Amino acid sequence: MSAFQGSVPESPRPVFHFTAPQFWINDPNGLIYYKGEYHLFYQHNPFGNEWGHMTWGHAKSKDLVQWTHLPVAIPEQKDHMIFSGCVVHDQKNSSSLGSASRGPLVALYTAHREGHQAQHIAYSTDDGLHWNLFKNNPVLDLKKQDFRDPNVFWHEPTARWIMAVVLPKEFKVQFYASKNLIKWDLLSDFGGHPSFKEIWECPALFSLPVKNQKDKTKWVLLISTNREFSSMRYFTGDFDGTSFRCDHALDQVNRVDAGKDFYAAIPFYQSPDQKKILLGWMNNWAYANQNPTESWKGMMTTARELGIQRESDGSYRLLQAPVESLQAIRKKEREYHADQGTKFDTWEIQTSPAMEWQISLDSHKGVVLDFDFGKKAKLLVTWDATRRQLCLDRTSKSLAFHQAYPSIECTGVSPGHNLTLQILIDRYSLEIFADQGKAALTSVFFAPGALQKFRINGKQFQAKATLWDLDPLAP
């Protein structure tokens, strides 16, 4: 990481979550795996620690854990900012922006100016380092104030590019098709249901093989929604090359992550072994500009591998797990047990700024996991086995950096008296993956120090935990 050059002291960085070399970030953009490297472009303000001057920052990584910063990819222009979008590899040079022997990388993004948003493209013929703005931009313009966040993929059965893009205030995704990434034709609209009240942003459509149904794939449409708080939901269904048909009621809300800090996530275009890898911005518009960090602001989540499975009621459930490469930075494994926990058990944890916890719990009633960061800053992870709920309570007073921050977020977990949790803790964040990836719950926190004490409270429980430090730099 390059050191901050200004006069403001720098807040310590997260250990394994991505931050900009300096200043503000929000959405991940243009995620693509290309020539053995993951590229992350991101909404960035190169001039300050709050939202503004939107520009595409750029970094790359071989393992999605350690990133190398690269020069700004697409800077803010005189009359417009560079809002969110995607990057595709135009392998056959359908756009004619590269050459027959070398298809270009093409970025599709929203050009934003006061009162007007339209879709533009830029292209790179040097593996994403330098970008040329296309001369005949915009490539898609409805002359609307709100029309943004294009996400494009190659649809093999119809041999054309498909774009998902949102009309945020009409709560709609529109699908467009193109043979060359330049001329786009409207295919269909999805959404617009009267139950929708929050603006729609950052759509992404993709298919996943169903884990427990042989030879079956399911289409998933992700959207980010924002009003009082930001969150993400998904629709499952089918895409026939023209329209997306949802297989459940539109007012059924399937949250991608039940926590408050998972937003604007999009999948990587391409990845090794056809894996679908998702990366999000770990923040919430309700208080993002007030995150109390100096000289940098905003983090990405841990990259997650996605799956999908059919449930016994016939619905489809998205599955998430941290990418496997995170295991390579596990250090100092240790184990803890509570065999006959009656009231509570306090574990003398050797702490470190970043850790992974794998906890298996056994109880008929449930337990409370109490993560104590000192100076009365606590996060409580509560499992209620009777109500089949897992909650994260971040209402402790000393964590409240903003009035919208304190909250208790919950998600449903499977019935039964066993629960397995994988918890990733870094400076400023906690990500919980529960129930074999069926539930995820992500939260930022700004505590005065590292984890100091850990306690399990419950009536009759057994608990077993394996812990690792997570440290990309330690041998």
Shortest distance, position 85 Cβ to ligand FRU, whole Å = 8
Q: Which is nearer to ligand FRU, 226 or 352 (CB)?
A: 226
Give the interface size with ligand FRU as a residue count (CB under 6 A): 12
Shortest distance, position 226 Cβ to ligand FRU, whole Å = 7
Determine the Cα–Cα distance for residues 398 and 416; give it in Å rounded to an integer. Answer: 34
> Does 146 help bind ligand FRU (rule: CB under 6 A)?
no
Residues 74-133 contacting ligand FRU, CB under 6 A? 83-84, 110
Q: 451: closest CA among 429, 422, 475? A: 429
> Does 201 help bind ligand FRU (rule: CB under 6 A)?
yes
**Alpha-carbon torsion, ordered 139, 140, 141, 142, to 10 deg:** 160
Shortest distance, position 200 Cβ to ligand FRU, whole Å = 9
Asked if residue 188 lies in contact with residue 207, where contact means CB atoms within 8 angstroms, the answer is no
Who contacts 273 (Cβ-Cβ below 8 Å, separation ≥6)? none
Who contacts 62 (Cβ-Cβ below 8 Å, separation ≥6)? 36, 37, 38
Among 202, 369, 447, 465, binds ligand FRU (CB under 6 A): 202
Shortest distance, position 83 Cβ to ligand FRU, whole Å = 3
Among 22, 43, 151, 351, binds ligand FRU (CB under 6 A): 43
Structure tokens at 286: 């309700």
399 phi-psi bin (left φ>0, alpha ψ -120 to 50, beta other): alpha
> Does 149 help bind ligand FRU (rule: CB under 6 A)?
yes
> Does 356 help bind ligand FRU (rule: CB under 6 A)?
no
Q: How far is CA 222 from CA 116, 191, 345, 380, in A?
A: 24, 12, 40, 29
Determine the Cα–Cα distance for residues 245 and 339; give it in Å rounded to an integer. Answer: 49
> Does 231 help bind ligand FRU (rule: CB under 6 A)?
no
Shortest distance, position 276 Cβ to ligand FRU, whole Å = 21
> Does 370 help bind ligand FRU (rule: CB under 6 A)?
no
> Does 27 help bind ligand FRU (rule: CB under 6 A)?
yes
Determine the Cα–Cα distance for residues 321 and 252; give it in Å rounded to an integer. Answer: 23
Q: What is the DSSP string of 253-291?
A: --BS-SSS--EEEEEPBS-GGG-EEEEEE---TTTGGG-
Shortest distance, position 318 Cβ to ligand FRU, whole Å = 20
Asked if residue 320 lies in contact with residue 305, where contact means CB atoms within 8 angstroms, the answer is yes
Structure tokens at 374: 């000192």
Among 11, 19, 22, 26, binds ligand FRU (CB under 6 A): 26
Shortest distance, position 323 Cβ to ligand FRU, whole Å = 23
Among 17, 39, 148, 394, binds ligand FRU (CB under 6 A): 148
> Does 260 help bind ligand FRU (rule: CB under 6 A)?
no
Catalytic residues: 27
Q: How far is CA 167 from CA 223, 255, 286, in A?
A: 12, 20, 21
Report cis status (omega within 30 of 0) of the bond before 71. Answer: no
Q: Which is nearer to ligand FRU, 26 or 443 (CB)?
A: 26
Q: What is the DSSP letter of 99?
A: B
Q: Which is nearer to ligand FRU, 65 or 88 (CB)?
A: 88
> Does 297 help bind ligand FRU (rule: CB under 6 A)?
no
DSSP-based three-state secondary structure for 219 = strand
Shortest distance, position 401 Cβ to ligand FRU, whole Å = 20
> Does 49 help bind ligand FRU (rule: CB under 6 A)?
no
Q: Which is nearer to ligand FRU, 131 or 371 (CB)?
A: 131
DSSP-based three-state secondary structure for 399 = helix
Q: Which is nearer to ligand FRU, 143 or 334 (CB)?
A: 143
Q: Which is nearer to ligand FRU, 143 or 245 (CB)?
A: 143
> Does 264 help bind ligand FRU (rule: CB under 6 A)?
yes
Q: How far is CA 136 from CA 97, 106, 120, 139, 182, in A?
A: 12, 14, 9, 7, 9
The CA-based angle 84-85-90, given to 5 degrees, is 160
Q: State the residues that interact with ligand FRU by CB under 6 A.
A: 26-27, 43, 54, 83-84, 110, 148-149, 201-202, 264
